Structure 1
Amino acid sequence: MTDTEISLREVRDGDLPFFWRHWSDPEAQRVAAFTGAYQYDRALFDGHWAKLRADPGVLNRTVVADGEVVGSIAVFGPPDEREVTYWIDRAHWGRNIATAALTALIDLVPTRPLHAYAAADNSGSIRVLQKCGFVITGQDRGFARARDAEIDEVVLILPAA
């Protein structure tokens, strides 16, 4: 694992500039593949986050590593289709931060199953999900804005215990 101290906390206004820097990183976007218009336009980004933060059905958390904001993580969606999503600053990839953050999020959310999706070639994210108990249950194909192409994706589920 990592010797970095990882914690999740509620999102603060001051976190948003960090999230923007993480989410608008072209290389991180390419790896994630499935991006939204809000990741390319700061005004759309701010509106997106205002909506997320106002929605009681969305559990958003800031990922903090050794006191530094390094990402965001969330659970959203209807009760029978709750989905996890996370975005870790590329400078912190490969340090098990995403795994530690997802483990902490899963502990906060008793709902099962939880769903996740990842680009089929995003081995890092798939590995994080599998280390946290998610299993690949299917494949799909969709338009990946960051690659301007249709690509394969995997569907994962964290089943009930």
Structure 2
Amino acid sequence: MSDDMRPDVRPAMRPDTRLDVRLRDVQETDLAVFFEQEHDTEAVRRSRFIPRPRDAFMTHWATQILADDTVFVQTVTVDDAPAGHIVAWWDQHDEQRHRFVGYWLGRPYWGRGVGTKALALFLRCERNRPLLADPFIENTASIRLLERHGFRPVGTVRHGADEHTLLVLTAPL
């Protein structure tokens, strides 16, 4: 494994209980924050997600996320400022439709308990089970976050050249 692909080995941090983490509906002004987060080089390295040009990003959000009433998306806020988003959507996989969850938090919020609290809040509202997630196999922080909420690894999937861990949540909260 090359030096730039080392898994996240930071010591476990205690959640910052002073942070006010909430979910709310996405506002148009949030999209600029999400766009910048999608282009963060360290986040791209950890997620293996290819960032889109601005026009493609805005079109995707307008037509594939916000206009689709089967998609459930929320902005994660910390002390009333947008910190990222969590989204659940239906995807065709192996001739079956599956419900997936994904999230993206800005780097200033990593390791502070924001993802843990935000995902807990989201899973109280997103009741579809089974619920799948497929983080990049070397994104150990994301895998740990999902496992903390009851997701269990069931295999791997490939997205292009990259291997991703497939996790599933079957039990309601």
- TM-score calculated relative to the size of structure 2: 0.83
Q: Which residue in 2 is equivalent to 1:156?
A: 167
* Code of the aligned partner of 1:2: D
Cα offsets for 1:122-148 (capped at 9, x unmatched): 0010011001110001122332xxxxx
5+ residue gaps, structure 2, are 1-14
Give the superposed CA RMSD.
Answer: 1.5
Specify the SS of the correspondent of 1:77: strand
1:2 aligns with 2:13: no
Task: Work out whether residues 134 and 157 of structure 2, in 8 Å CA contact, stay in contact via their aligned partners in 1.
Answer: no
5+ residue gaps, structure 1, are 144-149
Q: Which residue in 2 is equivalent to 1:46?
A: 58
* Code of the aligned partner of 2:44: Q
Specify the SS of the correspondent of 2:69: coil
State the shift of 1:80 in Å.
5.2
Task: Work out whether residues 88 and 101 of structure 2, in 8 Å CA contact, stay in contact via their aligned partners in 1.
Answer: yes
Look at both structures and tell me which one has the larger radius of gyration over its CA atoms: 2
Task: Work out whether residues 80 and 113 of structure 1, in 8 Å CA contact, stay in contact via their aligned partners in 2.
Answer: no
Matches within 5 A, 1:58-137: 58-77=71-90, 81-137=98-154
State how far apart, in whole Å, the 2-side matches of 1:80 and 1:44 are: 25
Aligned pair partner of 1:20 in 31, 35, 54: 35
State how far apart, in whole Å, the 1-side matches of 2:129 and 2:47 are: 24
Identity fraction in percent:
34
Give the number of aligned pairs. Answer: 152
State the shift of 1:73 in Å.
0.6
Deviates more, 1:42-51 or 1:72-81: 72-81
- TM-score calculated relative to the size of structure 1: 0.89
Cα offsets for 1:33-65 (capped at 9, x unmatched): 133xxx230000110110110100101110001
Name the structure with the higher helix share.
1
Cα offsets for 1:94-123 (capped at 9, x unmatched): 111111111111100111110000111100
